[in-house]
Structure 1
Amino acid sequence: MSENLSLKTFVITMKASKALEEVTKQDIKKHGMRASDFAILEALYHKGRQTIREISESVLISTGSITYVIDKLEKKELLIRTNCPDDRRAVYLEITDRGKQTMDDIFPKHQLVIEELFEGISESDKETVIEVLKKVGHKASNKE
């Protein structure tokens, strides 16, 4: 019986994803943060002010859980909430100066950990992986 390459690709992708997630979680933990805290701050750090809904969609945290995380980050003065003057239902999140300083310190170190994970992988191979995973992701998204 021949090997099922689709199944093997799936299993290897899932194992690699789990391993990458664990390494990045441990790195973030070293900086005194949880992955959800870091994900929200990182989105605000790179993309600027966003609504809670935009953040929730981009970091894949449910709207129920995200409120708890935002509350904690706000208490630590790492982000602030502001009401949208045009739409009372919308609330904006913005990183504070303290949050920016925190990310200025943490993010370059975190990026280095990620760079080390992909050390020795050619740019061409990285581009191929990106293309393939995008295709699979789009296909999986359309199955919902």
Structure 2
Amino acid sequence: MEEQNIFELIHNMDNFTNKLIIQWNKSFNEDLGVSHVLVLSHLNQNGKSRPSDIAKLLGLTPPTLSYLADKLVAKKLAVRMVDEADRRIIYLNITDKGAEVLERAILEGQKLRKNLFQKLTEEDRAQLVNIFEKMNRED
């Protein structure tokens, strides 16, 4: 019985996450996925970074990061930079346009989450915070 509950929980979490991503994609009309925004966010917080380092930190494969970077560069949201000391090293860096798009993505995500969580009572939200805190604790 307990295993069935775990699978049911995972199924419901996946459904919620998928619904959230679909709603965000509809409202954030930039032809970018969540992974693109995660890369922009990393660059915004950490400055220029090697794609292999970004991939490792975000749990992506290097080919996936390369695909994401190509699109970000094509849309002028990021640029590739060559290391002056070692021309074999390439960095990715966010552009001003990329920072603006990231800000809009963050605001859209906040608006979406606010609308979703307003459906819950104050008690429900407090319980949810408690649950997420427990799940995020490293024992």
Superposition TM-score tier, normalisation by shorter sequence? 0.7 to 0.9
For residue 95 of structure 2, what is the amino acid of its counterpart?
A: T
Could you tell me whether the CA contact under 8 Å between 1:79 and 1:99 is conserved in 2?
A: yes
**Corresponding residue of 2:132:** 129
Q: Which runs of 4+ in 1 moved over 6 A?
A: none
CA shift, 1:80, in A, is 1.2
The change in CA–CA distance for 1:14 and 1:130 in structure 2 (over 3 A counts) is farther
TM-score using structure 2 length:
0.74
Structure 2 gaps of 5+ residues are: none
State yes or no: 1:21 paired with 2:18.
yes
Q: Distance in 2 between matches of 1:54 and 1:93?
A: 10
Structure 1 counterpart SS, 2:79: strand
Matches within 5 A, 1:3-82: 3-4=1-2, 6-30=3-27, 31-32=29-30, 33-82=32-81
Deviation at 1:97, TM superposition (A): 0.4
Q: State the Cα deviation string for residues 42-74 of structure 1 (Å, max 9, x = none).
A: 222344332212221233321112112211110
What is the identity percentage for the equivalent residue pairs of Structure 1 and Structure 2?
Answer: 20
1:49 is paired with a residue of what secondary structure?
Answer: coil
Give, as a single letter, the amino acid of the residue that structure 2 aligns with 1:56: A
Structure 2 letter corresponding to 1:19: F
CA 1:72–1:8 in structure 2 vs 1: closer, same or farther (change >3 Å)? same
Write the distance in 2 (CA, Å) between the matches of 1:10 and 1:82.
45
Q: What is the root-mean-square deviation in Å for CA atoms of aligned residues? A: 2.7
TM-score of the two chains, using structure 1 as the length reference: 0.72
What is residue 142 of structure 1 aligned with on the other side?
none
8 A contact 2:40–2:94 mirrored in 1? yes
Task: Indicate conservation of the 8 Å contact 1:52/1:90, yes or no.
Answer: no
Give 1:141's aligned residue: none
Query: Contact 2:25–2:33 (CA<8 Å) still a contact in 1?
Result: yes
